[in-house]
Structure 1
Amino acid sequence: MNSPTLPDPIAGAAADTVQRGTAMDRALPPPRWRRTPMLAALATAAVFGLALLLAWQRQPQLQTVRAAQLAPVRAGLFRDELPLRARAEPIRSVQLDAVEAGLVESVQARDGDRVEVGAPLYRLRSPEQEQLLMQRGAEVAQQMANVSAQRSAQATSLAQNRRELARLQAEQQQAEADYGRLAPLAAAGFVSAAALEQARRQQALATQLLEQARQDQRIEADIHAQSLAEMARAVDGLQHGLRLLQEARARLQQTAPIAGQLSGFTLQVGASVRPGDRLGRIDDPAGGMQLAAEVDEYYLPRLRAGQLATSADGPLSLVQTLPQVQGGKVRVLLRWSGPPPALQPGQAVELRLQLSRPAPALLLPDGPGVQTRLYVLHGRELRRRAVRLGRRAAGQVEVLGGLAAGEQVLLSQPPSDAERLALP
């Protein structure tokens, strides 16, 4: 009897493999970079770096500050001082300005000479002034001749008026005498009433003519007196103008008003001079020296007489502020507290003017970037911050709030007004 046949497991597996199509697959060796640990690590680092680069590119880029100038905030004494560059000048000095126009005829002094009071400096020649002087003199002479003729005519008129008045007085007296003689005769009946009336009318007429002549002579005398007074005033005015021209002629010769050293005097013969031209000055070093400096008009409200200043030659004090502003500057005068040093006029002196007393404060060096919104260092970034700043003096800025000692601040001009900036 035949036994049943058992299936072959190997044959069954082979058949199953043939049916699923896996008989053609085979295992491949791993890649070379997986077989080398260093290559695997480098590949992983490259992938990670690429991911970081993509993430960095997605973030906004910060503008870089090139050549950034940083400085720390520090605690110290705020010295409210103003650095100035002043020039020495004599306290007693007189400017030589031309007061008359003309051509330089002669020069009697040179620049740098020591002159005394009244010493001749230069002389001008003015043909126009000479002509005007002759014309004004002729006008004065003509007016005086007119006054003389008027006075002569007045004297003649007065003599004639006196004679006329004497005649009228005589006629009036004769008329009174005739009336006085006829009145008693008429009363006695020896003279008619008509003759008496005629004598009375003659007396009244003579009296009226006499009074009218006196009144007319008074009016004429007043008119003559007023005319002479006006002519006299005209003569006085012409004579005053003549004196002024003579004084102007005398000023053509310029003399030294004070004793001292002539400075800046470069006048040449033949040069044309107009009124107001600056010709030089006379300095009197014996009267002492002072310093003159120009200060920005911003500090004008804070300038006061008596403020102290320091220089290499000793302490000074502000004695005067000239309030006239020229070119945005005001002029101040300072003098030494003790004997002045031996300085030449025009010599420059460096000094510091103290506007107020030193006081403790947080300080920051001044710069274009130090504003009410400035940049503070955080790591490798500069972040914008609002702060409160106070006074500025001598290259220092007083910090009132918003900063702490030790923080680094950007002093230079930032490239933009972004909230964050990067350092290179």
Structure 2
Amino acid sequence: MDKVIPRKNKKISYLSIAIGVFLVLAILIFLSFNSKRNLNVKAEEISVQKVEKAFFEDFVVFQAKVEPLNMMLLNVTEGGSVKEIFVENGAMVTKGQSLARLYNPNTELNYLTQETAIIEQINNLNTGKLNIRNQELNLNKDLVLIEHDYNDAKRLYDMNSKLFEKDVISRNDWNTFKESLRFQEERKKTIQQSIQKEKQSNQMQVSQINRSIQTMEKSLEILRNNKKNFLITAPESGRLTSFEPVLGKTFQAGESIGKIDSKRGYKLTADVDEFYLEKVREGLKGQIEFKGKTVEIIVTKVIPEVKSGHFTVELAFTSKENIALQDGLSFGVKLILSERNKILVVPKGSFNQETAGKWIFVVKGNKAQRRNIKLGRENPSFYEVLEGLKEGESVITSSYSDYKDIEELSISSE
């Protein structure tokens, strides 16, 4: 009799194989993620520097331009085209010296029209004042005649009063003389009062006319002075700069045609990177090199407005010695931001562009391992080390552009 052999379950077999393969892959992946990523580099391709304690001075270096301490702009008051040029750019000029003459026929015609109108108004006012004086003169003439009539009536009254007392003349005649005197007296009094009021009124009118004439004469003076604005003169003595007029070239009113350096000293102006905005302040000292000598300078003004990533700083020379400078010269300025002290530093290099100061490769023998660090202040030569490095350790300071994902470097001399 045949024996029955039980059939194996293939599903269990396949499952076991799958589990085994999965475990092997998991182990390989785990080992790959936990193994250090290594790269071979040649010693000549990298730059190795020592971490050391050195005197650290927080400073910034930038270019500054020489500008006159007192610069005056030459602005065009009346627009026009250049008709005459009397001096050249760079010349020394004195206050009031003629520099150039502009011409504008429309403006000059307008000035002439205004001048004619003002003169005509002044003449009319003077004519009115003359008429008032003539009126007063006529009134005075009338008063003279009236006083003459009064004096005749008074003389006849006095003479006939004695005759009436002696009964030489009749009462009717005497009454006639009395009435004539009374009339002339009232007439004289009335005309005197009228003349007094007329004079007061005339005085007020003449005073107003005189004020109007004074105002118009001032307007006429201003107008004539404005006509002189076509002649550009030096507002003060000094050296003429940026003066480049061309015959026939038109300048608008208010436009600058040049500058005058009064030669009373110079200052430095510079555009500094906005990174230093919080560090740069008035009173900070610095220095420049001029003709082989170190010249001390000081920050006098900080303009915090940021344009194109920079802000403006003005600096003055601390020395009272007269330095022979020229407008437009440029100097490299070293501005001291903090006192000089000895701290742990690492030399500057391209590595910081990739690491942002958070890690660095530390060299031990022919290996370099990645290490987390913390950097602080910086100057053109060093970074301040706050954490992660010790004095005497060697680090790679050259570019890390090819090592960003590498944890260990193997350094070979060939």
Task: Give your verdict on TM over 0.5.
Answer: yes
Aligned AA (2:311): K
What one-letter code is carried by the residue in structure 2 that aligns with 1:353?
Answer: L
Larger mean Cα displacement after TM superposition, 321-330 or 263-272:
321-330
TM-score norm. by structure 2 comes to 0.63
Inter-partner Cα distance in structure 2 for 1:346 and 1:355: 26
* 2:25 aligned residue (50, 57, 77): 50
User: Structure 1, residues 322-379: CA drift from partner, whole Å, max 9, x if none?
Assistant: 75857463340322627566554312211112244334556687968999xx845797
Match in the other structure for 2:329: 347
Higher mean alpha-carbon deviation, 244-253 vs 359-368, is at 359-368
What SS does the aligned partner of 1:225 have? helix
| Partner residue, 2:37 | none
The answer for the alignment partner of 2:103 in structure 1 is: 125
Structure 1 portions without partners, runs of 5+:
1-17, 25-45, 60-69, 412-420
Q: Structure 1 residues 165, 381: closer, same or farther in 2, change over 3 A?
A: same
**Structure 2 counterpart of 1:148, which letter?**
N
| DSSP 3-state at the match of 1:315 | strand
Q: Quick one: which of 330, 335, 357 aligns to 2:339?
A: 357
Confirm or deny: 8 A CA contact 2:76 2:257 kept in the other structure.
yes
2:268 counterpart of 1:291: yes
Q: Write the distance in 1 (CA, Å) between the matches of 2:106 and 2:378.
A: 59
The residue number in structure 2 matching 1:320 is 300
**1:375 and 1:322 mapped to 2: Cα distance?**
32
Equivalent position to 2:258, from 268, 274, 280: 280
Once the two structures are superposed, residues 27-81 of structure 1 have per-residue CA deviations (whole angstroms, 9 ceiling, x without a partner) of: xxxxxxxxxxxxxxxxxxx99863423546999xxxxxxxxxx999875555343
Q: Distance in 2 between matches of 1:201 and 1:300?
A: 106
Structure 2 unmatched runs, 5+: 6-20, 35-47, 362-368, 398-403, 408-414
Q: What residue number does 1:218 align with?
A: 196
Counterpart-to-counterpart distance in 1, 2:29 and 2:112? 102
1:215 partner SS? helix
Q: Output the CA distance in 2 between the equivalents of 1:397 and 1:109.
A: 55
CA distance in 2, matches of 1:243, 1:230: 20
Task: Give the C-alpha shift of residue 174 in structure 1.
Answer: 6.9
CA shift in 2, pair 1:345/1:302, >3 Å = closer
SS in 2 for 1:281: strand
Alignment match, 1:88: 66
Aligned amino acid, residue 333 of structure 2: L
**Residue identity matched to 2:314:** V
* 1:113–1:157 Cα change, 3 Å: closer
Rounded Cα–Cα distance in structure 2 between residues aligned with 1:210 and 1:141: 42
Query: In the alignment, which residue of structure 2 is the partner of 1:138?
Result: 116
Identify which of 287, 300, 321 aligns with 1:310.
287
Q: Partner of 2:13 in structure 1?
A: none
2:164–2:170 Cα contact (<8 Å) kept: yes
Matching residue's letter, 1:293: A
Quickly say closer, same or farther: Cα 1:392–1:199, change in 2 above 3 A: farther
Distance in 2 of aligned mates of 1:231 and 1:266: 49
In the aligned structure 1, how far is the partner of 2:303 from the partner of 2:162? 96
CA distance in 2, matches of 1:357, 1:263: 40
Aligned residue type for 2:285: L
Q: Which residue of 1 aligns with 2:40?
A: none
Q: Given the superposition, is the C-alpha separation of residues 228 and 136 from structure 1 closer, same or farther in structure 2, using an over 3 Å criterion?
A: farther
Q: How far is the alpha carbon of 1:311 from its aligned partner?
A: 1.7
Q: SS state of the match for residue 77, structure 2?
A: coil
**How far 1:382 sits from its partner (Å)?**
5.6
Instruction: For 2:197 and 2:303, locate their aligned partners in 1 and report how far apart those are by CA, in whole Å.
Output: 62
The alignment of Structure 1 onto Structure 2 pairs a total of residues equal to 352
Judge conservation of contact 1:76–1:361 (CA < 8 Å) in 2: yes
Pair 1:234–1:128, CA change in 2 (3 A): farther
* Correspondence for 2:241: 263
Shift of 1:101: 1.1
Q: Which protein is bigger by CA-based radius of gyration?
A: 1
User: Which amino acid in the other structure matches residue 215 of structure 1?
Assistant: Q
CA distance in 2, matches of 1:222, 1:71: 103
Residues 177-207 of structure 1 deviation map (CA, whole Å, 9 limit, x = unaligned): 7888779979x9x9989x97x9988877765
| Seq. identity, % | 19
Once the two structures are overlaid, the 10-residue window that deviates more, 166-175 or 98-107, is 166-175
Q: Aligned runs of 1:196-207 on 2, under 5 Å?
A: none
Shift of 1:146: 1.7
Is the CA contact (8 Å cut-off) linking 1:108 and 1:120 kept in structure 2? yes
Match of 1:5 in 2: none
Judge conservation of contact 1:308–1:315 (CA < 8 Å) in 2.
Answer: no
Deviation at residue 238 of structure 1 after TM alignment: 2.7
Confirm whether residue 248 of structure 1 aligns to residue 226 of structure 2: yes
Distance of aligned partners of 1:140 and 1:377 in 2 relative to their CA distance in 1, 3 Å threshold: closer
CA distance in 2, matches of 1:337, 1:107: 39
* Aligned residue type for 1:141: I
Match of residue 126, structure 2, among 125, 148, 160 = 148
Distance 1:360 1:200 in 2: 126
CA-atom RMSD, angstroms?
5.3
Q: Is the 8 A contact 2:115 2:223 kept in 1?
A: no
Q: Give the whole-Å Cα distance in 2 for the aligned partners of 1:303 and 1:77.
A: 23
Cα shift readout 1:71-129 (whole Å, capped 9, x = no counterpart): 99875555343323111234454433322211111223333455566554322112133
